[in-house]
Amino acid sequence: MDSIQADVVIIGSGVGGSAVAHRLVGSGARVLMLERGDFLPNESQNSDARAVFGEQRYKTRDIWFDARGAAFRPGQYYHVGGHTKFYGTAMFRFRESDFAATAIDGMTSPAWPIGYGDLAPFYAEAEQLYGVRGAAGFDPTEPPRDAFPHAAIPHEPVIARLAEGLAAQGLRPFPMPSAVDYGPGGTCRRCDSCDAFACRFGAKGDAETRVLRPLLAQGDFRLERRTEVRRLILDDQGRHVVAAEALREGVPIRVEAPVFVLSAGAINSALILLRSACDAAPAGVANRSGVVGRYLMNHHLTGLMGIRPLAVNDTRFPKTLAINDFYHGLPGDEGARGNMQMLGNIRGAMIRPAYPALPGPLADWLGRHSVDVLAMSEDLPDRDSRVRLLPGDRVEVDYRPGGTAAHDRFVRHLRGVLRRAGFPLVLRHRFGIQAPSHQCGTVRMGHDPAQSALDGLCRAHDHPNLHVVDGGFLPSSAALNPALTIAAQALRVGAHLRARRAP
């Protein structure tokens, strides 16, 4: 078996892994990143809804199984840059309250081992790195912060009218923080295909464009593509990770280093740790607590299409507005809570794969006449919500969402808000675990090694030379998009690793 040596091995090139690389490259350490995917080709299909949604051109061909044994092809994208290649560019900081224990509808959102103050400087760094646009001082739940690196992207007319309709109800719509290179001199062309599509013009603030491409120009960073890590190998005492075994274009290789950073995404990182079970760690690497693969969360996500039958929505970039007035609950119903934010433009070709019986012209009409928003509520962690390996390396995702009833009440309220804002018809679509876009929690952080896999610096309680920096580390999901928080914590971990190398 070929063997490669490095000073730090990072597994996965998503927002977590690339943030650690960003912090370590230039420190003198030989940083090696292993990524199972390749560069996403720049081609016309990147922005073609039929190719992306109909043909599912970029989705993995892997098959997973739900708890009833039903097979599904998950909405997982394996490319350099990870899921940020397709993400919707909403770059929110979590609220101060998200780091504290909260009771919601009789369930508990647990406390984090770190507070907002620990992440604040790294949030600022992550916003700079990803070129986030926004305006401070308008979001009623905003945590303490300085100005955004770039001014907010202005509303187009249809979204400005929606903002007025919300404000008329006493709500406080605010500019949505977004990582798009829009504005004078920017590369964004308002091509109308952003959320859930890859950008052909380098305008989307994804991990490849903003972080990895600049690093690749430097000497001490190496990216091995088409290299899938299968398992981690421990020393005889079971204390240190000594190697990763991988398949590079199908050929086994062994990669050795004194420091390992796992960032393969919440589900895949858990699978790698579980697959690494050995005599010294019979339940899997970093899993003396038994929590690895458990507490899988994905947010409660409902798309709402507000239809004005006589008006065509010609907005090119709608993702400029959000509301957080209900982040801590509805009046008289604290459990029903969450964030509302704009989705990208929904088109007929995106609707039809989910509703094949819907006639094509009707789907296209809905796409043209709708304004599309996303209702997001916190998914509360359940120990029995889990991913695990079955015999034959079959992947089972036994997902148990926590707090569904409260989310349904929140959605009902938002439908009323949209109707009052001028949309007589509001359709809804619930996103499930088949699209695990906000997956998190499977390798949770915590103070107590009996209840968590990682400490507050994402270091495995069981193995001092292993860190896990993807969405798996989140102890709770909050009700806001996770990418900026993953980036901020990974930058914090990277800063710590770099400081440890300093003489």
Ligand X SMILES: Cc1cc2nc3c(=O)[nH]c(=O)nc-3n(C[C@H](O)[C@H](O)[C@H](O)COP(=O)(O)OP(=O)(O)OC[C@H]3O[C@@H](n4cnc5c(N)ncnc54)[C@H](O)[C@@H]3O)c2cc1C
Q: Give contact residues for ligand X (rule: CB under 6 A).
A: 11-17, 34-37, 78, 82-84, 86-90, 196, 228-229, 263-265, 268, 272, 437-438, 470-471, 481-484, 486
Q: Does residue 150 have an active-site annotation?
A: no
Q: For residues 413 and 438, which CB has a smaller minimum distance to ligand X in the complex? A: 438
Residue given tokens 């994905």 in the structure block? 298
**Do residues 24 and 492 make contact, with C-beta atoms less than 8 angstroms apart?**
no
Instruction: Give the nearer residue to ligand X in terms of CB position, either 142 or 333.
Output: 142
Query: How far from 69 is each of 72, 273, 449, CA to CA, in Å?
Result: 9, 22, 32
Least Å from the CB of residue 452 to ligand X: 17
Compare residues 153 and 330 and give the one whose CB is closer to ligand X: 153
> Which residue has the CB atom at the shortest distance from ligand X?
14
Least gap, CB of 155 to ligand X (angstroms): 18
Kindly tell me which of 92 and 423 has the beta carbon lying closer to ligand X: 92
Q: In what order do the strands lie in the sheet with 339-342?
A: 174-175, 321-323, 339-342, 370-377, 300-307, 425-431
Q: In what order do the strands lie in the sheet with 8-11?
A: 221-224, 31-34, 8-11, 259-262, 466-468
E strand segments, 378-479 = 386-390, 394-398, 425-431, 466-468
Nearest approach, Cβ of residue 271 and ligand X (Å): 7
Q: What are phi and psi of 438, to 5 degrees?
A: -110, 30
Q: Angle, nearest 10°, between helix axes 15-24 and 116-130?
A: 90
What is the C-alpha separation between 221 and 475, in angstroms, rounded?
A: 31
CB 395 within 8 Å of CB 420: no
AA identity, residue 137: G
- Residue keyed to tokens 């209900």: 326
**What angle (nearest 5°) sits at the alpha carbon of residue 405, between those of residues 399 and 409?**
135
CB of 309 to ligand X, least distance (A): 28
Min dist. Cβ of residue 59 to ligand X (A): 10
Q: How far is the CB of 15 from ligand X (least distance, A)?
A: 4
If the CB atoms of residues 363 and 490 are measured against ligand X, the closer one turns out to be: 490
- DSSP 8-state class, residue 358: S
Which amino acid is residue 181, in one-letter code? Answer: D
- Give the nearer residue to ligand X in terms of CB position, either 165 or 293: 293
Residue nearer to ligand X on the CB measure, 89 or 385: 89
Catalytic residue among 22, 150, 299, 438, which?
438
Please enumerate in sequence order all residues whose Cβ is within 8 A of that of 332, keeping only pairs 6 or more positions apart, or say none: none
DSSP for 287-351, written as a single string: -TTS-TT-S-B--EEEEEEEE-TT-----S--TTEEE-TTTT-BTTBTTS--EEEE-----HHHH
Nearer to ligand X, 14 or 113 (CB): 14
Three-state SS sequence of 91-133: CCCCCHHHHCCEEECCEEECCCCCCHHHHHHHHHHHHHHHCCE
374 class by beta-carbon count within 10 Å (0-12 exposed, 13-18 middle, 19+ buried): buried
Shortest approach of ligand X to residue 437 CB, angstroms? Answer: 4
CB of 252: closest distance to ligand X in angstroms? 13
Is residue 146 classed exposed, middle or buried when 0-12, 13-18 and 19+ CB atoms within 10 A define those classes? exposed
Q: How far apart are CA 36 and CA 437, in angstroms?
A: 18
Catalytic residues: 438
